[in-house]
Amino acid sequence: MEALAEFAALIEQYSKTDGINETALPRVSVIKASKPSEPIHGVHQPALCILAQGRKQVILGDKVFYYDATRYLVASVDVPVVGQVIEATPEKPYLCFRLTLDPAIISTLILETGLDNSAAVTANQNPGSSLSLATVTPELLDACIRLLRVLANPRDLPILAPLAEREILYRLLTGADEARLRQIAQADSKLHQINRAIGWIKQHFAEPFSIETLAAEARMSASALHHHFKSVTAMSPLQYQKQLRLQEARRLILLQGSDAATAGHQVGYESPSQFSREYSRLFGAPPLRDANRLKSSPDMLMSA
């Protein structure tokens, strides 16, 4: 397929190294991997991910999402996941186009195109899982290719890039992910309320909190918060907080050279033994051994 071949060539052109490569476009990055990766823990941000080559799996709770060049992934909120490139070779590397989803742009597009007719219905919908898969259409692929083509002409970026980005979002809004995109943009949707709770946890993850406090921040009842939070993230708010704490501690140990006790204390653990136990349960090894393993395997540091 000529379009897919061009898509792969464009991604590889702007992938200077294996890993995440930022581009001159503010919300667009391209990702390359020349070999399968180990399972990688990370927080998946709201984004559209389309592959030109290779295969990947993303684990959220007890669900596994597999995608390749025929299916794209959409993430609607910041959510801890385990990602793994499962098909890639030096001759045919894993190649991914990632567009960060901006709620303001989506909201403006909905209003300007008259796609806001079902706003009341969307606001009351159960938000469902934060991750979803859908079929890549020729129209969506074509819009992504045209967005990447603009990178070759910096003078064209401020004029043509927004048009191509808006078309990509329009294709999502008129396709299988219509309801999900609406919920991302709509201020009174259940997903937006859960996103407020997630934002609060991210700011206060090192502090203890009550479900009642979080529910007030989300403007929901405690029972509704717990139900919808688990539906979206596949975990409870306290489990979400634990994931953020442990991932930040891992970053402190690896990148800042903190010892395990200091890192655990900084992210809110009072008991070093509890920290070590929960760290080992999540990452499969105690902090020091895990850090040594990561340093010897740079591909494990790639974003999920």
- Which phi and psi (to 5°) does residue 15 adopt? -100, 95
* pTM of the full structure: 0.91
Q: Residue 120 pLDDT > 50, yes or no?
A: no
Residue carrying the six token digits 């409870």:
236
Per residue in 78-119, pLDDT (tens digit) is 999 999 999 999 999 999 999 999 999 999 999 888 876 654
Q: Residue 13 pLDDT > 90, yes or no?
A: yes
* Confidence band of 286 (pLDDT split at 50, 70, 90): very high
Per residue in 133-176, pLDDT (tens digit) is 999 999 999 999 999 999 999 999 999 999 999 999 999 999 98
Cβ neighbours around 274 below 10 Å, total: 11
Q: What percent of the chain has pLDDT over 70?
A: 94
pLDDT of residue 121: 47
**Nearest residue to 214 via CA among 222, 202, 223, 206:** 222
Q: What are the start-end ranges of the H helices in 87-203?
A: 103-113, 119-124, 138-149, 157-173, 178-185, 190-203
DSSP labels for 246-259?
Answer: HHHHHHHHHHS---
Residue carrying the six token digits 């941000």:
45
Q: Kindly give the interhelix angle for 272-283 and 237-255, rounded to the nearest 10 degrees.
A: 90
